[in-house]
Every structure is written in C-alpha cells, then in structure tokens.
Amino acid sequence: MRYVEHFDFTGRRVCITGAASGIGAGLARAFAGVGATLVLADVDTAGLQAIAGECGAAEAHAYDQADLGSIEGLVRAAGDVDVLLNNAGILLYEPFLSLTWPALRRVVDVDLVGPIALTRLVGERMVARRRGVIIHTSSQLVFNGAEFRAVYSAAKAGISQLVKTAALEWGRAGVRVNAIAPGRTLTASNRHLLADPAEYAKHLERIPLGRYGQPEDIANVAVFLASDAAAYITGQTIVVDGGWILP
C-alpha cells in the first residue's frame, strides 16, 4: 500500500457532531476532501444545512447533545459508522463564584454527559463490529487551566479521562479512542479578539508558532488520527495549540 492510501476514506461513514460551524465545519470539509461519507449533526439546523450542502451528499441531522432522546435518535439514523468525531460543545465564560446551577448543568450535560452517552452507544456498535475510531474534541485547558472557565475545563478533563478508559476497554475489539485538545482557534466564538489589536498581540506572545490556530489545523490532526496511519495510537489527548502550553 502506498502511504497516501492510508488517507483515502472512500466508503467510510464519518459522523461529526457540532458540524455547523467552527472546528466542526472544518472537520466536515476535511473529511469530505478525503472521500468520506458524512453524517453531520448540530443544534444549528440552518448552519448544518449550509455545511452539508457545501460538502456534497452529506446527511444532516438536528441534534441536541443535552438530550438523551436526541442522542439515541442520531445513533439510530447514522447506523454503523466507521469514525465518530464527538465535537459538539459549548463554552461558558463566567467567574466561578458567579456560576448558577442551570448554567453549570448545561455545560456539564453538553460537554461531558452527552459525549459519554454518545460514545457509549456508538462504541457498543463498533465493538460488535470489531472496528471503529472515536475522536473527541477536548481542550488545551485540560493541561494548564484558565480563569472563568472552571466548569468547561473540568468537563473537558473528564473527556480526556473517558478517552483513556474507553481505549483500555475496547482496544482488543479493534476500536481506537483518542482526543484532540485545541488551543486558541479562530472560530465565530472568539473572532472578536481580532478587533482588539492589543489583546490579540498579548495572546500571540504566548504562542511559539506566532499565530492562532485555524479549524483546518485541528481537522488535519483528526484525519490523521482517524486514518490507518494512526492504527497504533489510542488513549491519547493530542494538543494542537501552536506550543501555547510549553512556556
């Protein structure tokens, strides 16, 4: 086999949650580019339809990761998938002492409980078929923390631990489980930083590679981890942050 053939996803079904925008949309474009059959899911149905149209014959499913019925419905609709990109999530930027119970529960449900449930249901099918890849979107904050993101950081740390446990339990069944921990990545949720040159420059000083990440930077790593070229990698959280956590 030529090395490039490791990255041919023709005939493989790839399910991506949170696919309507940001990193999720970057994932959709990347996997469409390597020939995958896409199953896209998001609570933002308008954005979802737009990215599905851009990616060709992609399936699009309305999806609320905080609702177990919606998670179960996606699994039924998607059927057997070869790759799950468990990407949907929300960010709460709030001082710890100002947190309300509803806000806390919402972040935990979307960023931790929902991904656990989806991993459990999809993983069961993959184990039965004795093959499959699951990739979670974690966060660089798992490794260094940040102010005003206590619940988000804790939830993402839980994802990284989930990855280790699932990898241990399912490895002999041919199922690999990993996570990607993005650093500062330019998406709709943080492009406001570009409007403040001083703030933008302050953050760039922390990044050895001298720039913010782009969704495609995350997507490139996801394609590798999902490919046969990464067949001996499981249970890992791969940091993609331009070197932010090094200093």
Each domain of the chain, given as residue ranges in start order, spans 3-240
Specify the DSSP class assigned to residue 185. B
The pTM of the whole model exceeds 0.75: yes
Q: Is 152 known to be catalytic? A: yes
Question: What pLDDT is recorded for position 201?
Answer: 86
CA separation for the pair 142, 158 (Å, rounded): 9
- Using DSSP's 3-state secondary structure scheme, residue 37 falls into strand
Question: What pLDDT is recorded for position 203?
Answer: 82
Question: What pLDDT is recorded for position 57?
Answer: 77
In degrees and rounded to multiples of 5, residue 8 shows phi and psi of: -95, 110
Which CATH class name applies to 3-240? alpha beta
Instruction: Report CA dihedral (24, 29, 33, 37) to the nearest 10 degrees.
Output: 60
pLDDT digits (tens), the chain, 247 positions: 677 889 999 999 999 999 999 999 999 999 999 999 999 999 999 999 999 999 997 899 999 999 999 999 999 999 999 999 999 999 998 999 999 999 999 999 999 999 999 999 999 999 999 999 999 999 999 998 888 999 999 999 999 999 999 999 999 999 999 999 999 999 877 777 677 888 888 889 999 999 999 999 999 999 999 999 999 999 999 999 999 999 6
Could you say which of 3, 63, 152, 200 is catalytic?
152
Question: What pLDDT is recorded for position 1?
Answer: 64
Question: What pLDDT is recorded for position 145?
Answer: 80
Question: What pLDDT is recorded for position 173?
Answer: 99
